[in-house]
Structures are given as C-alpha cells and as structure tokens.
Structure 1
Amino acid sequence: MSRIFSTFLLTLGFALSSASLHAQIALGFDIEVSDPARLVAAMDKYTESQTGASIPATAILSQYIANGTSTATHNLAVFYPSVEGMDEAFLRNALSADWNEFIMEFGAASDTVLNVMFEPTGLTNGNTAAISGELYASRWIVVDVTDEAAFASEWQELVDSDPSDWDVNASLWRIIAPGNATGTHLVSYQANNFSELLSVRNSERPGLASFQRAVTGISSAYSISMVNTVKTWTNP
C-alpha cells in the first residue's frame, strides 16, 4: 500500500479543497513525517519568503487518519492555477536559496513515500460551499478506470442523486503521472468534520447500487483513506 496514491495524493493531500477550486494542475506527495512541527515551520518560512510569496499556489498539508498499511503519515498537495504557473514555480525555485533551505528542512522532517501529478476533471457535486473553513475532513478513493467517459458519467449521476442534506463537497480528479503507483483517478469527498462526512453511509446513498453495477467492468477501487487537514497555505 505504500505505493498507492491515497491523496491526493493531491492536497500535497493531493489534496482537494475549496481553496483549489480554480486549480488546473497539482502535485501530490505522500510523506512519512518524523517531526510535524519542523515541517510546518519550514512551510511557513518558505511561504513567507521572497520566492514563496511570488508563486501563486495553494499548498495543503493533511494527516492520514486511516490509510491501511501505507507508511505515509501525511499528504502534501500543491495546486497551481495553470500549467504555465507551475513551470514558473519550477524556474524560480531552481534558482532560489529559499527553496534550497526549504528542501533541506523538508528532508530532515520527513521522507517521501511517493509523488504524483493530477488535474481536475471538472466533475463535482456542485457543493463547494460545504467547506466553511481551511480545516476539514476528507475521504479519498483511488480508482483504476479503463473507460473514463463512462465512469465519469455514472459517477456524476451518483453524486447528483445523493441526499440533499448530506453537506459534502465531492469531486473527481485525474492522475496523469502516477509513477509506479496504482490508480488513474481520485474521488474526493470533503466535509467540515467527520460527523458530517460519515452522516450518510453507502447503504443510504440511493444511486450507489446502480453505480456499482454500471462501473464493475470498467473500474476497481484500490484504496480508501480518511484524512484531516492540518494547515493550508495560499498565495494569490
């Protein structure tokens, strides 16, 4: 399981909050953190540095609450508003003493288990307002999909049929560079807390049985993880 992208990846969580609503590309890192305070301090310092402050991006650090046998304790996801913006970030960091210091601190506080690149499919349940703050609970489902169009259509029908009082933000992401990790897509469900996230179980989702029958031959769920957001850093 240490080779499975659970997050998103994204946040960094791979990742996947309302803060990343307009993201066009993202990098996700599953990491095994030995010194959480040092890692957060390094993120704080880099974000406030001349280099970090000049790069439009949102970074989200999430802590795994349940992720099977993976050694990863956290996920860090970085969302960029465009591919060009990501390219610019790479260029600025390559020449930056701020970035070099951050990488040294990052390496001292954590070990990278895996990293991936992912992008939004644009499919959601249209409920980004479900997240009222920067700290929230998430369920990430990594899926192998062989027919994206069919899976996406069925998934959209599923979330559109979910109970209207289930206040979650659901989104579907495409993993475009998984390395040797498993999974082509990430399904993310977010709520302000686990009480809300788990208030509707699978047995109470009216469209789930139909969805499962429809996608059985074109997809397989590889991992399901629960995470809590630790901190979000945003530069406009």
Structure 2
Amino acid sequence: MSRISVRGFAVASATAVTAVGSVVGVASGSTAQPIDAEATASDSTLLADIPAGQQAQVQTASLTQQADAQAIAADASAKKDAEEAARKQAAKDAVAKQEAAEKAEQAAKEAKEREEAEEAASRSATRDASSFAVQSSYSIAQIQAMARQIVPADQFQCFSNIVDHESDWNYKAVNPSSGAYGLFQALPGSKMSSVGADWQTNPATQIQWGLNYMNDRYDSPCGAWSFWQANHWY
C-alpha cells in the first residue's frame, strides 16, 4: 500500500462505507440527510486515492455491514412477534379454560337440581295409606301395587326385598313362635295401630307403618335392607 498510509486507508474505508451507505439509503427510500459538499468532495478524493481493487472491497464491506444490521433487526422483529403471539395464545387458552370450568360447574349444578326435583316429584307422587278404599281381601298383586304408590320409586326394590323375606307379601302372616304379624312381622303387631286401627286387615296401613319404621330407624328402606343383609333382621 504505497499510495496512502494504513491510517489513511482506514479513514478512507470508513468514509467510503458511509458514502455507500448514504447512496443505498437513498435508493431504498430513506430520508436523505443534508450532505456537506466539501466533506463529500473530500470523501470522494479519499476513496479515489484507494486502488481500484481495494475500493471494491470497501464497498463490499459496507454492503455486508448493512445486510448484517438488517438481519439483526429482522431477528429482533421476529422474536418480538413470536413473543406477542405466545402472549395472546396464553391469554386465549386461559379464557377458554375458565369458560370450560364455568360450564362444568353449571352442568353439575343443573344435574343436582334435576336430581332434587325428581326426588321431590317422586315423594310428592306417593299416596297416603288412608287414600285407598278398604276391601274385604287383597291379592299379592294388589298389595304390591299399593306399595308402589306409597313407597318412593327409588326405594321400592329395597322395601320389596324386606317384605319378600319377612312375609312373602302375606298381610295376615303370623309367626307361630313369637306372634309377629303382618307384612313386616311387627312384634307385637299392635305397633301398627299408630297408623290405623285397621292394621290387622288393611295392607295399606301396614305398608305405611313399615315405611315409617324404616325411615325412622334406618333413614330409608335401602338403609334397612342393608342392615337386614348383614344381620338377617331389621
């Protein structure tokens, strides 16, 4: 490098990079800054003092520098966009999760309300023993039909299981050893008079007494049946 010193080459190179960058900026649509004519002339003189081959290197270095800067800016923009997209997706997922939880809670509430309504309807649909017409005798089918109208539907099978084992639906059944009487083998049978004086001849009276007994002592016929299975009495 005989024409200029190393320091001069460095200054010229930097100046050339600046000059080329300005040209590129203008070409790309950037707002041009006021250019000092004397400085430009000086820069041109310095660039002219560099050998032709090295001028190309200086120009290439300038373009490379610009490309690197643009790549860094693009990476930063892409990262920012990705972070924003992730933030929006996280917020969207949180909202969806909250909505799903609220729907599940509402569905559980509605299911419980339906269950309570059905249970209430079942209870209200039952009849009182006194609402049945008195007959001189009753068949097993008639007695079971009466029981279905007095006992809540969800408790009837447990209720029926106990009657099956105690009397086989014979409302006049008597235990010869103890004197236990009726559908539920009440001992003494006169206990059933708490429901009606006709306890010896009216299955409806016995059914109502049996249901009251199971509810009072075991909370329900199914509670009584569970106890019966474990102990073979209730």
Q: In which range does the TM-score fall when normalised by the shorter chain?
A: under 0.3
Which protein has greater RCO, CA pairs closer than 8 Å, 6+ apart?
A: 1
The structure whose residues are more often strand, as a share, is 1
- The structure with the largest alpha-carbon Rg is 2
